[in-house]
Structure 1
Amino acid sequence: MHLLQLAVLLPFLGAIIVPIIYYYTKRLHPGYVALLFPVSAAAILISLRAAGQHISSMNWMPHIGLNLDFHLDGFAFLFTMLITVIGTLVIFYSISYLGRREALGHFYCYLLIFMGAMLGVVLSDNVIALYLFWELTSISSFLLISFWNHKSKSIQGALKSMLITVFGGLMLLGGLLSLVAITHTFSIREMIAMRSEITASPLFTVALLFILLAAFTKSAQFPFHIWLPDAMEAPTPVSAYLHSATMVKAGIYLVARFTPIFAVSSLWIYAVTFAGAITLFWASYNAVKQRDLKGVLAYSTISQLGLMMTLLGIGGISLHFGHDEIFYMSIVACVFHIFNHASFKGALFMVVGIIDHETGTRDLRKLSGLLHVMPLTFTAAAMGALSMAGVPPFNGFLSKEMFLTSMFDSSESALFNPFAVFLLLALVIIGSLFTFIYSIKLVKDIFFGQRQALPKEPHEAPLMFLASPFILISIVIITGLIPNILTPMIESASSAVLNKPIEHIHISHWHGINPALLTTLAIFIVGTLMVFAFDKWKKIYQLQPEHFTFNTLYQDALQYSERIPHSVNSKIIRSGSRLHVMLIFGTLILLTIAAFLMNPIDLGKWQLAEIRIHEVILVVIILIATYMVLIAKSRIFSIIMLSAIGYSVGLFFVFFNAPDIALTQLTIETISTALFLMCFFHLPKLTLYGETAKFKISNAVVAILSGLAVIVISLVAYGHRFYPSINEYYIKNVYELAAGKNMVNVILVDFRGFDTLFESSVLGIAGIGIYTLIKLRYRKDDEHEETKK
C-alpha cells in the first residue's frame, strides 16, 4: 500500500479503533487516541510532498472503473493540511467541550469517517472514487449534525443538509458520468488534457450544469444556502470543522478543480461569478439580523463562500481567453482566502463554543459586557472578527484587498458588459460592507455594554479549552504580518488550479492608493457608523414578509412532497387490488402501443411446428375452462376451472418433452389450488360485490388488450432472433463446468444460483413477516384479555 493511500485510510482505521478502545477503557478520553490519526496523516502527507511523491494507484473495482487513484498536487495538499491540522485542533478542543456523559465513541467515529471522506474527495483522481467520498461526506455530516438526536432541531437540520447535499451528489454523478461518456476515461487529469474534446461534445453543457449544481449545494450557494444555518444545531466542534475548513469548501474545491475544463464557457464564468456575488450579498445582509451567535457565523460562512466562488469565476477568465491575464490573481486570492477563512472562522466557532459553554446561552440579546470576565476569549474573538472584517494587519485584510482588486479588474474583461460590471461591483461592495458590520457588531454586542443575568455565572475558560482557538489566531496574526511565508504553497496550489505554472507572487499590505483601498476605507467609515446606528436602520429587515423566505418554500415543498404521495397512495390502497391490476396491465398496454407506433409491427421470420390433434384438444379444454371462469357464480367453481387451465398447460410441457418443467407446473398448481380452496371458502359470496356492466366491460377491455399485447410481443420477439440461443451453451457446458447431468437442475442451482438464492431469501422474509404478524396478533389478544380483567 502506498503511503498516500495510507494517509486516507488512517482516519477510517481510527473510526474503528477509537470506539473499541473507549468501550474497554472508559478512563481514557477517546479524544487523545483520536488525535493520533490526523497527526499521523498530516505527517505522511508533508513527507510525501517534500519527497515529491504525488501519485498512487490501486485497483479496487476496475470493471466499473472504480480505483483508488490519488493525486497530491499543490491544491490538494493545501486542503489536506486544512483537513488534518484543523481536524487535530478540533479534536483537541472537543476534549474540553464534550462531557463524559456524551456518546464520545460515536462522536469520534463519525468525525474520523468525515475526515477520511474529505481526504478522499480532495485527493481522488478517479471520478467514481470522488463521487463515493463526496457522498460519504454527506452521510457522515448527517451523523455529526444529528449527534444530539434528543433535539428535534438537530434532526431537522441534519435532514435538511442531507436532502440538499445528496441532491447535489446525484447531480455530481450525472456530471461526472457525462464527462466519462465524452472522454472514456475516469481520470480527472486526463479529462483536463482532453478539454478540447469535452468542449466540442453536445454533453458539455449538461456536464457543466450538473457539476455546478453539485458545487452550489455543497458550498451553500444561493438559493441552496438554507441548509447551513440549520446545521448549526450540531455540537460546536462539528460546526468549527465542517463549516470552516472542510465540508462547505468541497464545492469550492470542485469548481476550482474543473475550472480548466469549463472556464472556456462564458456560461460557467457568469454562473460561478454571479452565484458567488449574490450569495455574498444576501448572506452578509442576513447575518446582521441574526440573534444566535452560531447563526451569525453560519451566514458569515455562506457570505465568505460566496466571496471565494466569485473569485473562482473571475479567475476563470484567464483560461477563457487562452492566455494569462491579470485575472489569474483572482485564483491566487481565492487560494489565499481559503486558508485565511479556515484560520479565522475556525477560531471564531471555537470562541462561540466557549461562550456558550461558560455562559449557558448563545442569544445575543442576553450576552453583553463579558469583556472583564472573559478577557482571553475577547482577545481571540476580536482578532478573528477583525480578520473576517478585513481589517489590517490580519490575514483577512490581505485576501480581501486582493478580492476587491480582482472585482475592479473585471471591468477590463471583454466578457462582461458595463451593466454586468456595475451589478457585480454593487453586490460585492455592499456584501463587503455588511461583512464589516456583522463582524464588528458581533464583538461589540458580546463584550461591551451592561452585563445581564445569564443562565450560568460567566468566567474565563480553562487554558486547555482556549488552546485550539489561540493556535488558529496565532496563524491569523503570523500570516497577516508575514504573508509571504505562505507564498510557495499558494503558488503551488494556484498553479494546480490553473493547470499552468504561476511564480513570483508577492503579497503585501500596501499597493498604493487604488480603487480597492479607497473602497476599503469607505467600508470602514460607513460600516462603523452603521454599527453604532443599528437601531435606526434595522427596520429594513421588516420589509421582507415573515413567511416569504427560502426556508418557508423548502418546508412547504417538503410537506407537499410527503402529503401528495401519501394521499395518492392511500386512495390506491383503499381502492382494492383490482385497481392495482388495472394499472399494471394498463401500463403494459400503453407501452406496447407506444412502442409499435414508433416502430411498425414486423413479425419477422418464424416457423411453426406441426400442430397435433392432442394439442388442439388441450387448447379447446383451456378455452372452455377460461369461459367457465368468466360465467362462474362461485369462487370455488372458478378455482377448479383455473386449475383445469393450469393442469392443461402442464400437459403441454409433457408433450413438448420438458418433464422437469411439467412436474414443477403440476406441483405448483396442486399446492396453489389447495391453498386457494382453503382461503376462498371463508370469503363472502361472489354476488355481494354487485358487478355492474361497466365493471365487466372495463375488465374485458383490459384483459383482451393485455392478451393481444403479450401475443404480439411474443410473436415479434420469436421472429427476430438477433443472437443464437443460449441453450447450446448449456448443452456444451452443463457437465464440464457444473459436473451435472440434469440440465434444468444445473441451470437453476449453478448457472442461475443467485436467482434461486434470492427466491429462497424472499420465502424466508415472507416467513418472518407471517411469524411476526401472528406474534403481534397473540400479543394484542393477550393485552385485550388483561384489559378485561
Structure 2
Amino acid sequence: MLTAILTGFLFSIFLVFAGKFFKGKLSILSSLIPLGLFIYFFQFIIPVSNGEVIMRSYEWIPSFGVDLGFKLDGLSLLFTLLITGIGFLVFFYTSSYLKGHEYLDRFYGYLASFMGAMLGLVLSDNMITLFVFWELTSISSFFLIGFNNRSAASRKSAMTALGITGIGGLLLLAGALLLNNITGTYSISEMLSMSEAIRGNEYYIAVVLLIFGAAFTKSAQFPFHFWLPGAMKAPTPVSTYLHSATMVKAGVYLLMRFTPVLGGENFWNTSLMIIGGITMLYSAIHTIFRTDLKGILAYSTISALGILVFLTGLGTREAFLAAAVFIIVHALYKATLFLVTGIIDHQTHTRNVTKLAGLNKVMLPVGIAGILAAISSAGIPPTIGFVGKELTYEASLHSETLVILLMIAIVLTKIFLLYAGFVAGIKPFTGKLPEEHTNVKMPDFVLWTPPLLLALLGLVFGVAPFIIDSPIIKPVVEAMGADASEVHLALWHGFNMVFILSLITIGVGIALYFVVKPSEKLETAVARFESISPESILEKFNRIFVSISNFWTDFFQNGYLRNYISIIILFLVVLIGYIMFGNTRFVIDYHSLSRITVYEITATLILIAGIFYTVFTQSRLAAVVAMGVVGLAICLIFIFYSAPDLAMTQFSIDTLTVILFVLVLYKLPKYLKLSDYKTRLRDGILSSIFGLLIATLALQVIAEPVNKDIGNFYAQNAYLEAHGKNVVNVILVDFRGADTLIEISVLSIAAVGVFGLMKLRLKMADRKRYEDR
C-alpha cells in the first residue's frame, strides 16, 4: 500500500530526468500509472465488501507515536477508486489537450504528485500522516492552479487557494495535537474506540471547531468558498481532477471519517447542517448569474459539496447512504461536464455560454456526453443521478427536526443545479450553430472518449445500481458507523412523496432553463453586490493587514542592524529584569562563589581593554583585531575553569571569524563615521544594563544547588543506547536529534537562499536601479 501511494511521487521524480520523452506521442503512456493503481485497488473490492479492513503500518517516528499507518475500508476504497479511475482518464485526456505544450512533462509531474498525496490522505490512519498528505495536496494543487504562471490571474488564484487551504492545514494539525492530548494516540482507529470519552471531554468543542475549519476551507464551504471559482484559471484537466472528483472532496472525506469519532452530538450535526445548507443554496443560486462555463460548474461544485456536508450533518443511515451515492454521482457527471467544457474551449476558444449553440452538428460524441451528464445532474431517470436525488430527498424527509425547511432548501438547490447542468451540458450543443463556429472540427478521440465513458457509466449505474450496491456503497455506510445490512439501491422506489418532489424538481428546473437565459446583464446585476461578498471582505482585511505590516516593517525593520540589536536587547532587559527582580526568591549567595584569582583578573582586564578599543577606534580593521583579543581572553577564562574543549572551539571560531572579517573589510574605507554622542551614550547605557543583568543572572545560577540527574542520565545512556562515547555529540545527534534536524534545515534553507542570490542574473535596467539604491 505504501508503494502504491509513493508511485505518484516516484513518477514525478522520474520525469525530472526523463521528462522530455513524455512531451510527444509517448505522453499518453503516463496514464498507465493511475490505471495500474486503479487495478491494484479494484482487487480489494471483494474483501472490503465482505467486511474486511486492510491495515498496514510502517514505523516512522515511534518516539512521538507517529507511524505510517494506512487503512483501507469502504470509505477509503471509494475515494481511491475515484482518485485513480478519474485520474487515469484525466492523464489520458491531457495527452491531447496539452499536446505540444513546452511544460507537459512538468504538468504530469504535478498531477502525479497530487494523485499520490490524495491517496496518502484518504488511506492514512495516523493523524500526523494525514496532515502531511493534506498539506502535500495543497502544495501540489498550488502548482497545478498556477500552471499558467505567466498569467497574473493564475498566480493570484494559486496563492489564494494555497492561503485558504493552508490555514485549514494548520487547523487540522492543531486538532490532531489536541486529540492526541485527549486520547494519547494519533491513530484514528484507536480514537474510534474512545469516541465517548472524546465527546465528553471539555475540549470537545475546540476539537470539532478545528476539524470543521480544516474541512470547510478544503471543501470550499461558505464563507471560504470563493477560492474555488478563482481556481478555474487552471487548465481544464486540473479543474476536472481537483475541483470535481478529488481535492475538494478531501474536506468531506475528513468529516465522514471523523463522524464515528466526533459525530452524534447536536453541535456536530447542527453545525454541518447549517453550513452545508447555506453553502448548497447560496452557490446553486449563483449559477444563474454566470456565463462562463467553468464559473457555472465551479459554483455548482460548491453547491454539491454543501449537499454532502449537509447529508453528513443529518447523521442518519439514510443520509450516509445518500452521501455515498452522491459522491459517485457528482464525480461522474461533474468530471464529464468539465472535460466537455475543456473540449469546447479547446475547439471554439470560448467558454461564454451565450456564444455557444448547435455544437452537436460538429462534435456529436461530445454532445452525447454532455447531455447524458446534464440529465444525471438533473436527477432524471434512468441515470444514477436520479437514484442519488431520491435518496437525498428521502434522508431529508426522515430528519427529526425542521423537515419542511430542510426540504425547501434541498429542493430549491436541486432545481438550480438542474438549471446549471442543462446550461453547461445541453445548451452548447442544441439550437443553431453560430456562424463563427462553422469551421469547428471534431476533436481527437483521446479528448472525447473520457467524458463519454464517464457519462455512460452514470447511465449504466442508474439502470443497474446493484453493480455498486453491495461492493462499494454498503462498506461506505458501515465505515461511517451505520448499519448497512438493509441497504439496497433501486431505480424505482414507487409512487410516493419522494417521487412527487422529484417530479416537481424536474418540472420547475426545466421551466427555469427555458425562461431564464444566461446573459451578461444578469452577471452585471450580481456584480453590484461584490463589495459585500466574503472574498471582498477578506481582501479588505488583507489590505488593512498589509498596511499595518508596512508600518511595522518601516518602523522596526528600517535597515540599520544596530537598531535591530537595540530593540532585541531592550526587550530582553525588560523581560529578564521583570522576572529576576519581581521574584522575591532572588538571592545570591556570595559565600558559595570561588575566590577570584590574579589570572582571572588579568584576563578580564584584557577583555575590557579589547572591548573599549573596539568601541572607540575609528578603524574597521583595528576593531576586528580588538574583537579577536576579546575572543582570546574568553578562551583563557575557559581554560582557567577546566574547559579546554570549549576553549579550542572558541579559538577556532574566533580565528576564522577574524580572518573572514579582514577579507571582507579589506577594501572598505579605513575610518568609520561614528555615531553622534547621544546615540553612543544610549547604546552604552543599554549594553551596560544588559551586561549587568546577565552577570547577575549567571551569579544566581552558579549559587543554585547543582542537580546532576540529567547529566548522569546522558552519561549512563550515551554509550548503551546511542553507542557513542562523546556525550555532547550523542546529545546533539540522538537525544536531541529533532532539534538538530530543524537547525540543519534552517541552515540548508539559508544556504539555498544565498545560492539563489549568487546565481541571480539581473537585467541591465534592474541592475542599474538596484545600484542607484
TM bracket (short chain): 0.7 to 0.9
Select between 297-306 and 11-20 the one with higher mean Cα deviation.
11-20
Select between 468-477 and 449-458 the one with higher mean Cα deviation.
449-458
Select between 384-393 and 674-683 the one with higher mean Cα deviation.
674-683
Q: CA RMSD in A?
A: 4.2
Residues 225-240 of structure 1: pairs in structure 2 closer than 5 A = 225-240=225-240
Alpha-carbon distance change, 254 to 708 in structure 1, aligned in 2, over 3 angstroms = same
1:427 to 406, 409, 413: 409
Name the structure 2 match of 1:691.
Answer: 677
Alpha-carbon distance change, 610 to 500 in structure 1, aligned in 2, over 3 angstroms = same
1:717 to 701, 709, 712: 701
Residue pair 2:348, 2:440 contacting (<8 A) in 1 also: yes
2:455 to 465, 470, 473: 473
1:254 aligns with 2:254: yes
- Give the aligned residue type for 1:691: Y
Name the structure 2 match of 1:339.
Answer: 328
Alpha-carbon distance change, 423 to 616 in structure 1, aligned in 2, over 3 angstroms = farther
Residue pair 1:604, 1:720 contacting (<8 A) in 2 also: no
Name the structure 2 match of 1:391.
Answer: 380
1:54 aligns with 2:54: yes
Name the structure 2 match of 1:323.
Answer: none
Alpha-carbon distance change, 101 to 650 in structure 1, aligned in 2, over 3 angstroms = closer
Name the structure 2 match of 1:612.
Answer: 597
Distance (Å, rounded) in 2 between the aligned partners of 1:766 and 1:20: 24
Select between 623-632 and 438-447 the one with higher mean Cα deviation.
623-632
- Give the aligned residue type for 2:160: K
Residues 413-424 of structure 1: pairs in structure 2 closer than 5 A = 413=401, 424=406
Residue pair 2:53, 2:73 contacting (<8 A) in 1 also: no
Q: TM-score, normalised by structure 1?
A: 0.84
Once the two structures are superposed, residues 627-685 of structure 1 have per-residue CA deviations (whole angstroms, 9 ceiling, x without a partner) of 78888899899878767755554443343344565566567667767857968862344
1:12 aligns with 2:9: yes
Distance (Å, rounded) in 2 between the aligned partners of 1:293 and 1:780: 44
Q: CA deviation at 1:699?
A: 3.3
Alpha-carbon distance change, 542 to 614 in structure 1, aligned in 2, over 3 angstroms = closer
Distance (Å, rounded) in 2 between the aligned partners of 1:529 and 1:136: 44
Select between 751-760 and 110-119 the one with higher mean Cα deviation.
751-760
Select between 170-179 and 46-55 the one with higher mean Cα deviation.
46-55
Q: CA deviation at 1:727?
A: 8.8
Residues 534-553 of structure 1: pairs in structure 2 closer than 5 A = 534=516, 538=522, 541-542=525-526, 544-553=528-537
Q: CA deviation at 1:354?
A: 1.5
Once the two structures are superposed, residues 736-760 of structure 1 have per-residue CA deviations (whole angstroms, 9 ceiling, x without a partner) of 97789xx999999999999899899
Name the structure 1 match of 2:165.
Answer: 165
Alpha-carbon distance change, 98 to 127 in structure 1, aligned in 2, over 3 angstroms = same
Distance (Å, rounded) in 1 between the aligned partners of 2:94 and 2:203: 46
Select between 552-561 and 352-361 the one with higher mean Cα deviation.
552-561
Q: SS of the counterpart of 1:58?
A: strand
Name the structure 2 match of 1:35.
Answer: 31
1:196 aligns with 2:196: yes
Residue pair 1:22, 1:30 contacting (<8 A) in 2 also: no
Select between 103-112 and 118-127 the one with higher mean Cα deviation.
103-112
Once the two structures are superposed, residues 245-299 of structure 1 have per-residue CA deviations (whole angstroms, 9 ceiling, x without a partner) of 2111111111000001111332211221111111101111112211211111111
Once the two structures are superposed, residues 489-535 of structure 1 have per-residue CA deviations (whole angstroms, 9 ceiling, x without a partner) of 35533343333431122333444555444433333333333333326
Residue pair 1:634, 1:685 contacting (<8 A) in 2 also: no
Once the two structures are superposed, residues 280-336 of structure 1 have per-residue CA deviations (whole angstroms, 9 ceiling, x without a partner) of 011111122112111111111111010011000002xxxxxxxxxxx2110000001
Once the two structures are superposed, residues 18-75 of structure 1 have per-residue CA deviations (whole angstroms, 9 ceiling, x without a partner) of 665553576642222x232222222222223434571222223333333232221111
Distance (Å, rounded) in 2 between the aligned partners of 1:197 and 1:39: 42
Name the structure 2 match of 1:306.
Answer: 306
Distance (Å, rounded) in 2 between the aligned partners of 1:139 and 1:608: 57
Distance (Å, rounded) in 2 between the aligned partners of 1:260 and 1:598: 50
- Give the aligned residue type for 2:138: S
Residues 84-95 of structure 1: pairs in structure 2 closer than 5 A = 84-95=84-95
Alpha-carbon distance change, 166 to 384 in structure 1, aligned in 2, over 3 angstroms = same
Name the structure 2 match of 1:222.
Answer: 222
Distance (Å, rounded) in 1 between the aligned partners of 2:730 and 2:86: 59
Q: SS of the counterpart of 2:361?
A: coil
Residue pair 2:378, 2:506 contacting (<8 A) in 1 also: no
Q: CA deviation at 1:342?
A: 0.8
Once the two structures are superposed, residues 537-559 of structure 1 have per-residue CA deviations (whole angstroms, 9 ceiling, x without a partner) of 94894484233323333444445
- Give the aligned residue type for 2:597: R
Name the structure 2 match of 1:591.
Answer: 575
Once the two structures are superposed, residues 106-135 of structure 1 have per-residue CA deviations (whole angstroms, 9 ceiling, x without a partner) of 222222222222111111112222122211
Distance (Å, rounded) in 2 between the aligned partners of 1:167 and 1:538: 34
Name the structure 2 match of 1:138.
Answer: 138
Q: SS of the counterpart of 1:365?
A: helix
Q: SS of the counterpart of 1:202?
A: coil
Alpha-carbon distance change, 269 to 605 in structure 1, aligned in 2, over 3 angstroms = farther
Alpha-carbon distance change, 605 to 627 in structure 1, aligned in 2, over 3 angstroms = same
Distance (Å, rounded) in 1 between the aligned partners of 2:112 and 2:745: 39
Once the two structures are superposed, residues 224-262 of structure 1 have per-residue CA deviations (whole angstroms, 9 ceiling, x without a partner) of 111111222222122211122211111111100000111
Distance (Å, rounded) in 2 between the aligned partners of 1:524 and 1:228: 27
Distance (Å, rounded) in 2 between the aligned partners of 1:700 and 1:143: 51
Residue pair 1:359, 1:456 contacting (<8 A) in 2 also: no
Q: SS of the counterpart of 1:223?
A: coil
Name the structure 2 match of 1:494.
Answer: 476
1:506 to 460, 468, 488: 488
Distance (Å, rounded) in 2 between the aligned partners of 1:100 and 1:348: 24
Residue pair 1:274, 1:424 contacting (<8 A) in 2 also: no
- Give the aligned residue type for 2:335: G
Alpha-carbon distance change, 670 to 546 in structure 1, aligned in 2, over 3 angstroms = closer
- Give the aligned residue type for 1:592: I
Residues 349-498 of structure 1: pairs in structure 2 closer than 5 A = 349-410=338-399, 412-413=400-401, 424-443=406-425, 445-454=427-436, 457-498=439-480
Name the structure 2 match of 1:655.
Answer: 640
Distance (Å, rounded) in 2 between the aligned partners of 1:67 and 1:278: 38
Name the structure 2 match of 1:127.
Answer: 127
Q: SS of the counterpart of 1:221?
A: coil
Taking only the aligned residue pairs, the percentage that are identical comes to 33
Distance (Å, rounded) in 2 between the aligned partners of 1:191 and 1:153: 43
Distance (Å, rounded) in 2 between the aligned partners of 1:639 and 1:306: 66
Alpha-carbon distance change, 154 to 454 in structure 1, aligned in 2, over 3 angstroms = farther
Once the two structures are superposed, residues 189-242 of structure 1 have per-residue CA deviations (whole angstroms, 9 ceiling, x without a partner) of 111111122223333222211111111111111111111112222221222111
- Give the aligned residue type for 2:39: A
Alpha-carbon distance change, 752 to 678 in structure 1, aligned in 2, over 3 angstroms = farther
1:207 aligns with 2:192: no
Residue pair 1:65, 1:128 contacting (<8 A) in 2 also: no
Distance (Å, rounded) in 2 between the aligned partners of 1:61 and 1:716: 39
Select between 650-659 and 379-388 the one with higher mean Cα deviation.
650-659
Alignment coverage as a number of residue pairs: 755
Distance (Å, rounded) in 2 between the aligned partners of 1:37 and 1:429: 41
Alpha-carbon distance change, 717 to 208 in structure 1, aligned in 2, over 3 angstroms = farther
Distance (Å, rounded) in 1 between the aligned partners of 2:742 and 2:212: 43
Distance (Å, rounded) in 2 between the aligned partners of 1:249 and 1:771: 37
Name the structure 2 match of 1:276.
Answer: 276
Alpha-carbon distance change, 376 to 59 in structure 1, aligned in 2, over 3 angstroms = same
Residue pair 1:646, 1:665 contacting (<8 A) in 2 also: yes
Alpha-carbon distance change, 529 to 591 in structure 1, aligned in 2, over 3 angstroms = same
- Give the aligned residue type for 1:707: G
Q: SS of the counterpart of 2:177?
A: helix
Alpha-carbon distance change, 684 to 751 in structure 1, aligned in 2, over 3 angstroms = same
Structure 1: 5+ residue runs without aligned partners? 316-326, 785-789
Name the structure 2 match of 1:319.
Answer: none
- Give the aligned residue type for 2:345: D
